[in-house]
Structure 1
Amino acid sequence: MTTTPSHEGHEAGSWAAPPNGEYGVVVGNCQAESVRLVLNSDELRLVRVPPVFELDAAGAARLHELVSGASILIAQPVKDDYHDLPLGTRQLAASLPPSGRTVTFPVVRYAGLYPFQAALHVPGVEETPPIVAYHDVRTLAEAAGAPVRTRLDRDAVQAEAAASLAELRRREEPLDVGVSDVFARPHFELVRTVNHPGNEVILAIGARVLRALGRDGEPIDPGRPLLNSVHAPREDWVIDAWGLDDDPDPSWSVDGRSVDPAEVREAHLEWYRRHPQFVLGAVERLRPTFERWRR
């Protein structure tokens, strides 16, 4: 199998189906494009499409048209009428030809290595915070007037990991492909942030998609790190909790630039002051996490 080069995000000028022969489509969030990258080959031609959160009505119509000519739909689960558009996995699968195949794989989130981090959306707040679009529960709790601990002990770190894995298992249970077992022995190459898996995870998903399709061969490592634009801090107490050999790195890495976490904290506190409705919604969404951080 040979892959075609790509970048982390979606490039303009995609959507084009091959001029002849069978092709497939991979649909989902930013993880979907990485899965497409490791599977795309002369034997399994996969069309690049934007992540679903970027699509408007015209894009949704174009995606259905593309799927209607595909033999394979490889998809992360998307609820029906996502963003009031017919972008649900079931809705897209209904556009496949009668002989078409659908294989589903999970949206990967794992907090065991970044138990202080959350990636979430609060309805009514479309803007994202500056510098990094991730929330530190310690900063968020401070903004809410209910400060929590600055670090967790070993048992608490592993409790966060267990809660994260339980949710991943719940989400992947009805799907064709699972990946939660890959996190049995946590290490930093597995995830760069809570929702940006590394190549090891993407390749595992790719291999399992191929098996689900009944195809031989293996996915291809593209020779560069995928989903690599943002790396969260590697805190010493997390490293100690898992007995890892890594050196701590308290800084964020954003597009190759080291960013002081204090800079992120101050920018986010100011953003929370301007978006109190986000703080209220986030605290409600993250209530179990905050409870574990207060113990």
Structure 2
Amino acid sequence: MQNAGGDKGQGPDGRTLHYGEFYGQGGSSVEPDASAGVAVVMGNCQAESLRVMLHGAGLHTVRVPPVHELVAADIPYLERLLERTSLLVSQPVRDDYHELPLGVRQLQARIPDAGRTVRVPVIRFAGLYPTHAIIRPPSDLSLTPPIAAYHDLRTLVEASGGEPIATTVTPAMVRALAADSIGELTRREEAFDTVRISDLFATPDFSLMRTLNHPGNAVFAVLAERVRARAGLVEHAVEFDRPLLDSVHAPRSAAVIETYGLDEKPRADWIIGGVAVSDDVVKRAHLEWYAEHPDAVEAGLARHRRALEILAAT
């Protein structure tokens, strides 16, 4: 975070303006209701989408930076906000995340005694994008491949020099990967006592997920409803006028459409910022990136061993 208060003779920077209320600069698009409780939603990019779905009906939500973007200079602002927070909604975050007091338990300890905490899961579902994965290179956990920040396991294997896998993805593969994905999400929901959302993926379609980890409005609407129910708040449906997390749409395979009987057409291209980008262009860029970051290949092969075994089945 830079220039939260504005340097002498200069106004606040773009980040400070974007998170204006958090930094005490105003900037809320909705005038706060003095009688409304203040809610803070903490987590990755999914947190902001959930926040906008929660706003209103006795709840004033404050936009905060994603947890992985917070730095030491942000902590005083966060602590002041938590002192007036009545509802903390957070993905599972470990204590001292990035060597800062950002763990759920640490944040919960800062809100007033009457406040409530509701945990929500980090949502990932591979059943619509069965060859895609998220990989963190050990050398730098923040690194992502160019163009599309998602790894294709088939490209990963090619980069490793291994035997090619899944020349044709089959419905059996899709179903197996979907079942594993739902199972892992369910396990995390139970382990962290989060609001449940895994049941939505029993009958998946592309409105639910734009990529492996970018849910659509339909998911956030249900998640917000369930957060409100757990927190004991009145029901409140938000009619949001634009798609959430809409900047990247992954290709849609014929095997997925066949598996779920969807009324869709396959699409080989990525849609990034509204522009179609060939999957071949993405693949070439990723292969070059893997050559520069071999540890990402090794980490991916180890982390996604089960998915690779499914995709290698004949």
Displacement over 6 Å in runs of 4+:
none
2:258 is aligned, of 240, 249, 257, to 240
Match of 1:11 in 2: 18
Contact kept in structure 2, 1:199 and 1:221, CA below 8 Å: no
Q: Displacement, 1:148?
A: 1.3
CA-to-aligned-CA distance 1:258-284 (integer Å, 9 cap, x gap): 000000000000000011111111111
What's the CA shift for 1:123? 2.6
- The correspondence for 1:118, drawn from 133, 154, 165, is 133
Q: Which residue of 1 aligns with 2:85?
A: 70
Q: CA deviation at 1:19?
A: 9.2
Partner of 2:212: 194
Q: Does 1:83 align with 2:98?
A: yes
> Using the alignment, how far apart are the partners of 1:53 and 1:144 within structure 2?
30
Q: How many corresponding residue pairs?
A: 286
- 1:135 match: 151
Pick aligned residue for 2:52 from 34, 37, 40: 37
1:54 aligns with 2:69: yes
How many angstroms does 1:20 deviate by?
Answer: 4.9
Distance in 1, Cα, partners of 2:78 & 2:167 = 45
Deviations 1:135-170 (A, max 9, x none): 111111110111212232111110000000000001
Residue of structure 1 aligned with 2:233, choices 188, 210, 215: 215
Aligned equivalents of 1:42, 1:169: Cα separation in 2: 30
Kindly indicate whether residue 313 of structure 2 is the aligned counterpart of residue 292 of structure 1.
no
- The offset of 1:189, in angstroms, is 0.4
From 102, 105, 108, give the equivalent of 2:117.
Answer: 102
SS at match of 2:264: coil
Partners of 1:52 and 1:162 lie apart in 2 by 29
* Identical aligned residues as a percent: 48
- Write the distance in 2 (CA, Å) between the matches of 1:95 and 1:209: 20
Q: Write out aligned runs for 1:243-282 (5 A).
A: 243-282=261-300
Compute the TM-score of the two structures, normalised by the length of structure 1: 0.92
Contact 2:131 / 2:153 at 8 angstroms: preserved in 1? yes
1:153 and 2:207 correspond: no
> Post-superposition shift, 1:71?
1.0
1:165 aligns with 2:165: no
Q: Which has the larger radius of gyration?
A: 2
SS in 1 for 2:98: helix
Matched, 1:185 2:203: yes
TM-score, with normalisation over the residues of structure 2? 0.87
Root-mean-square deviation (CA, aligned residues, Å) is 1.7
Of stretches 28-37 and 173-182 in structure 1, the one that deviates more from structure 2 is 173-182
Partner amino acid for 1:13? Answer: G
Unaligned runs of 5+ in 1: 1-9
Q: Which runs of 5+ in 2 are unaligned?
A: 1-16, 27-31
Letter of the 1:162 partner, please give it: A
CA deviation after TM superposition for structure 1 residue 60, in Å: 3.2
1:206 aligned onto 2:224? yes
Q: What code does the residue aligned with 1:170 have?
A: R
- What code does the residue aligned with 2:78 have? L
Q: Distance in 1 between matches of 2:168 and 2:108?
A: 44
